[in-house]
């Protein structure tokens, strides 16, 4: 028997799920607390979180982070969760407190926004033991200062410029773990991996979009 053959089991009720693009499997992955993570779904929708084959969840949203939201996501997820704790609108000691709360609730890492100050990252590093994921949106960022402050992982989100940012980080820091957005296709994902990304974050279709496809099939049966 081929040693790489992987038996697959799917239930009837859970066969319809959000599957990650196959190209993501070509990434090296990041080993965190013994768990190898390659694919990360970018969502706060608990229905999608419960119905995806992603290795992990990155739960970042455009509002002030709230522990009740973190708790709901942590309770729903059956895979590791990276929790957003602010750093843009929400700053200072509140970010540190939110990060500590996320660690206590079982998050595998916390994510801070690009505007987060190095002082805040440094205070977080002195307080929590889980990885600090620092979002990067430009190649003009001072990556060395971020790492010195306590960044564990870079989360690159630069739209179409993402591969270039990843490439610049990788040239300067060959061993820093990098999560990056993969873009809209298998080829853009592969380009990002070739640039040096270890893991890929994937934005799934919304629940409304998925429901729209299902409703179309329902209508076709009548």
Q: What is the pLDDT of residues 60-74, one digit of tens each?
A: 999 999 999 999 999
97, burial (CB in 10 Å: exposed 0-12, middle 13-18, buried 19+): middle
Using one digit for the tens of pLDDT, what is the confidence trace for 102-121? 999 999 999 999 999 999 99
Return d(Cα 211, Cα 152) in angstroms, integer.
Answer: 37
- Helix %, strand %, coil % of the chain (to 5): 40, 20, 40
Q: How confident is the model at residue 2 (pLDDT cuts 50, 70, 90)?
A: low
Cβ–Cβ < 8 Å for 34, 49 = no
Please report the pLDDT score of residue 59 as a whole number.
97
Q: Could you tell me the two tokens for 123?
A: 């205070």
DSSP 154-204: EEE--GGGHHHHHHHHHHH-TTS-EEEE--SSHHHHHHHHHHT-SEEEE-P
- In this prediction, residue 13 carries a pLDDT of 62
Closest by CA position to 76, among listed 53, 45, 99 = 45
For Cα atoms 74, 54, 161, give the angle at the middle one, nearest 5 degrees.
105
Domains of the chain: 22-220 (3.20.20.60)
What pLDDT sits at residue 189?
98
- Which residue matches tokens 């809209």? 184
SS3 50: coil
Cα–Cα distance measured from residue 84 to residue 109, given in angstroms and rounded to the nearest whole number: 9
pLDDT for 136-185, tens place per residue? Answer: 999 999 999 999 999 999 999 999 999 999 999 999 999 999 999 999 99
């Amino acid at each position: 028997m081929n040693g790489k053959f992987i038996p697959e089991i799917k239930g009837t009720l859970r066969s319809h799920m959000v599957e990650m693009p196959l190209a993501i499997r070509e990434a090296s992955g990041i080993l965190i607390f013994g768990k190898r993570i390659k694919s990360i779904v970018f969502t706060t929708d608990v229905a999608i979180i419960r119905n995806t084959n992603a290795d992990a969840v990155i739960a970042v949203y455009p509002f002030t982070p709230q522990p009740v939201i973190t708790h709901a996501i942590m309770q729903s997820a059956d895979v590791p969760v990276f929790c957003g704790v602010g750093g843009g609108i929400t700053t200072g000691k509140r970010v540190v407190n939110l990060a500590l709360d996320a660690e206590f609730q079982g998050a595998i890492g916390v994510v801070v926004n690009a505007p987060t100050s190095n002082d805040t990252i440094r205070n977080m590093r002195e307080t929590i033991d889980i990885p600090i994921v620092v979002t990067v949106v430009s190649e003009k960022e001072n990556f060395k200062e971020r790492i010195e402050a306590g960044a564990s992982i870079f989360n690159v989100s630069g739209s179409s410029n993402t591969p270039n940012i990843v490439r610049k980080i990788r040239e300067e820091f060959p061993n820093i773990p990098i999560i990056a957005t993969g873009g809209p296709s298998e080829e853009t994902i592969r380009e990002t991996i070739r640039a040096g990304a270890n893991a890929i974050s994937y934005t799934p279709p919304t629940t409304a979009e998925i429901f729209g496809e299902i409703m179309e099939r329902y209508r076709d049966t009548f």
